[in-house]
Amino acid sequence: MALVNKVLVIGGGIGGMCAAIMLRRQGIEVDLVEVNPQWAPDGAGITISGPSLRSLREIGVVDEVLRRGGSWTAVDICDANGQLSMTVPTASAIGAEDLPGGAGIMRTVLADILGNATQNAGANVRLGVSFEKIEQDENEVEVLFTDGSLGRYDLVIGADGVNSAVRKLVMPGFEGPKFTGQGSWRAVVPRLRENSTIYMGKTTKAGMNPISATECYLFVLDKREGMDFLAPEQWPHMLAGLLEEFGGAIGEFRAGLIDGSLGNHRVLYRPLAGHMIPAPWHKGRIVLLGDAVHATTPHLASGAGIAVEGAIVLAEELQRRHSLEGALTAYAGRHYDRARLVVSASNRMGQLEQQGGSREEHTRVMIEAQQALRLPL
Ligand SMILES: Cc1cc2nc3c(=O)[nH]c(=O)nc-3n(C[C@H](O)[C@H](O)[C@H](O)COP(=O)(O)OP(=O)(O)OC[C@H]3O[C@@H](n4cnc5c(N)ncnc54)[C@H](O)[C@@H]3O)c2cc1C
């Protein structure tokens, strides 16, 4: 007999959609509510590592992600003026050697692919809806929604991101994510190279990862004092300031940012915050998934991948255990170490960048984590 017959997923981000798809595959009835009426995340690019591609194959969307995104099999390391110093091959994940070592895509395109897959899987999706009240006893969870409707479920999955509201019910004492000391800048630019490219400035490192056949996204992290609000109209000029030490393609892009001649590059700024919350990740019949329990900085480009992995592991454990308590405990137990590796290695890389620390340690932390993540789940 199935442990659960009817599940509510709160949050239609990458983790929530993948959980809905995996549970529908087991014939479980799934409702998904997403507070955003548009179902559209910010207009930035996202990098999908080899292990994340392997997980997206399990979800059933990797071919479309590769078709609509951009991919690469090597990283070009260039100087600040774009002169190539070396090319490092990007290894695929173990068990996914036929897939590229890395890919990129616009978040909106990935959301479109996963959203269609969620609906095609037969999940009942409601946009612009959240929960008002959740109460549980040992047999079920009763949910009052913001549209006034009421639902009863065997399990509620809180996949509502870094500032999760569901988390307040599971871990009322948790103080919230912590600012990591850096901000992230991203912009969409023309694709000039086949490979992923890192440009090494004296103090700043900028990257460009393909997100389609014709476009890349540029990413830079800076050191900041706090999470102060920065007015969006200042973002292009602030990003131009950060790119001062670069010439070549980045220099040209920078000039375009200053005089506005290169059109809309969809420049985005976001201060970085994160956490790694110890298990248990559930209370009774409510369980947390993805950034709600492990939110990371983008240093390893694996936060979304680890949310997909969490969805796969949760669905597998619900299918093979004999009690709900056992399944939810096993999910966190199996998934915890890989999530912690992503969060802690990313944090260490961020600290080294802020302190001007050892480049050798930075590279070692990154390579060791990437190798560990290539191993099967
Ligand atoms: C600047 C930056 C760059 C990043 N780059 C990468 C990268 O290149 N590669 C990578 O793998 N990872 C990257 N990450 C990490 C990645 O974005 C996250 O780990 C991933 O999005 C987590 O997915 P999630 O589904 O857990 O949460 P989210 O993607 O945050 O989704 C949560 C969803 O829940 C919805 N929601 C929130 N509250 C409610 C509510 N009360 N009711 C209903 N719905 C609600 C939200 O609208 C949202 O749709 C990056 C993160 C940052 C901050």
Mean pLDDT per 10-residue section of the chain, whose length is 377 residues: 95 98 98 94 92 98 98 96 95 97 97 98 98 98 98 98 98 96 94 94 92 95 91 92 94 87 79 97 98 97 98 98 98 98 97 91 95 95
Which ligand 1 atom is nearest residue 270's CA? 1
Cβ of residue 108 lying under 6 Å from some atom of ligand 1: no
Token representation of residue 184: 């992230």
Residue with CA closest to ligand 1 atom 38: 160
Largest Cα–Cα distance in the chain? 65
pTM of the model: 0.97
Residue 150 burial (CB count, 10 A): 10
CA of 231 to the centre of ligand 1 (A): 22
Query: Among positive and negative, which fits the CA dihedral 364, 369, 372, 374?
Result: negative
- Specify the ligand 1 atom closest to the Cα of 290: 26
- Distant-in-sequence, close-in-space partners of 25: CB < 8 Å, separation ≥ 6: 121, 315
Domain boundaries, the chain: 6-41+105-176+275-374
Helix (H, G, I), strand (E, B) or coil at 335: helix
DSSP code, position 277: P
Per-residue confidence (pLDDT) for residue 264, from 0 to 100: 64
CB contact set of 345 (below 8 Å; sequence gap of 6+): 299, 300, 365, 366, 368, 369
Q: For ligand 1, is residue 304 a contact (CB within 6 Å)?
A: yes
Expressed in angstroms and rounded, the spacing between residue 256 Cα and the centre of ligand 1 is 30
15 Cα nearest atom in ligand 1: 25
Counting ligand 1 atoms within 8 A of each CB, the residue from 156, 160, 221, 346 with the most, and so the one to mutate, is 160
* CA 42 – ligand 1 centroid, Å: 10
Q: What is the pLDDT, as a whole number, of residue 110? A: 97
Its CATH architecture, for the domain 6-41+105-176+275-374, is 3-Layer(bba) Sandwich (3.50)
Would you say the CB of residue 146 lies under 6 angstroms from ligand 1? Answer: no
270 lines ligand 1 (CB under 6 A): yes
Res 202: pLDDT: 86
Kindly give the distance from the C-alpha atom of residue 162 to the centroid of ligand 1, in angstroms, as a whole number.
7
C-alpha of residue 252 to centroid of ligand 1, in Å:
32
